[in-house]
Amino acid sequence: MPLNLFIIGPSGCGKSTQAKLIAGKYNLSHLSMGQLLRDEIAAGSGFGDEAKSYLDNGKLVPDDLIFDILIAKLNTLNNQNFIIDGFPRVLNQGKYMEFYLKKKDLPFSLLIHLSVTFEEITARRAKLGSEFQDENRTDNNPEAIASRQQFYDDGITPIREYFESKGLFVDIDGNRPIEPIFADICDKINKLKI
């Protein structure tokens, strides 16, 4: 059965952790938009060179570049079921993906929003310190973190309204340990008519 999922939330909400668990349980390919970008940068590709300053400053990479990188990757998956974390970050990206999947006669199954307060994320960062930080990331300074939060705050409402109206959006309370969050997400996925 086709199953194509998306998971989004503020920076530091734990979406990659959940995406990995979901991918394992439902046998999905896991794509992380942020990681795809970091891979391009590490490879020194033209895409990576273009994306680097946006990432380092906690700004959104322009949609055209995001689509080029993501679609190239999806094309290698051969219509395998997937979960993408960190996408869509703006409504335009969500609409683009809907269109892309529709053309391929594949479903946009569900957009999972991991809702975590800024206070909780700040507390996690303070508690975990360097453990929380991925050493391979160059965007963990306070300015970039604040910028990412601002872009998230600006993007989430239009995304929520659009996909909620289509019954494709679920809110999950992410201010909890990993296991109950995962259980709630599985519950939502299991209820999908697939």
- The answer to whether 81 contacts ligand AMP (rule: CB under 6 A) is no
Structure tokens at 82: 């997937």
Q: How far is the CB of 71 from ligand AMP (least distance, A)?
A: 13
User: What are the helix (H) ranges across 78-191?
Assistant: 91-103, 118-128, 142-165, 178-190
Q: How far is the CB of 57 from ligand AMP (least distance, A)?
A: 8
- The answer to whether 37 contacts ligand AMP (rule: CB under 6 A) is yes
Question: In the complex with ligand AMP, which residue's Cβ is closer, 117 or 191?
Answer: 117
Question: In the complex with ligand AMP, which residue's Cβ is closer, 87 or 182?
Answer: 87
Identify the three-state secondary structure at position 158: helix
Q: Which of 10, 14, 48, 86 binds ligand AMP (CB under 6 A)?
A: 86
Question: In the complex with ligand AMP, which residue's Cβ is closer, 72 or 183?
Answer: 72
Element (H, E) at 112: strand 110-115
By Cβ distance, which residue is nearest to ligand AMP?
A: 34
Peptide linkage before 88 cis (omega within 30 of 0): yes
- The answer to whether 74 contacts ligand AMP (rule: CB under 6 A) is no
- The answer to whether 14 contacts ligand AMP (rule: CB under 6 A) is no
- The answer to whether 89 contacts ligand AMP (rule: CB under 6 A) is yes
- The answer to whether 41 contacts ligand AMP (rule: CB under 6 A) is no
Q: Report the C-alpha gap between 91 and 111 in whole angstroms.
A: 12
- The answer to whether 33 contacts ligand AMP (rule: CB under 6 A) is yes
Burial class (CB in 10 A: 0-12, 13-18, 19+), 20: middle
Nearest Cα neighbor of 37 from 5, 14, 21, 59 is 59
CA distances (Å), origin 58, targets 4, 21, 32, 103: 27, 26, 16, 32
Q: How far is the CB of 1 from ligand AMP (least distance, A)?
A: 26
Residues that bind ligand AMP (CB under 6 A): 11, 33-34, 37, 54-55, 58-61, 66, 86-87, 89, 93, 148
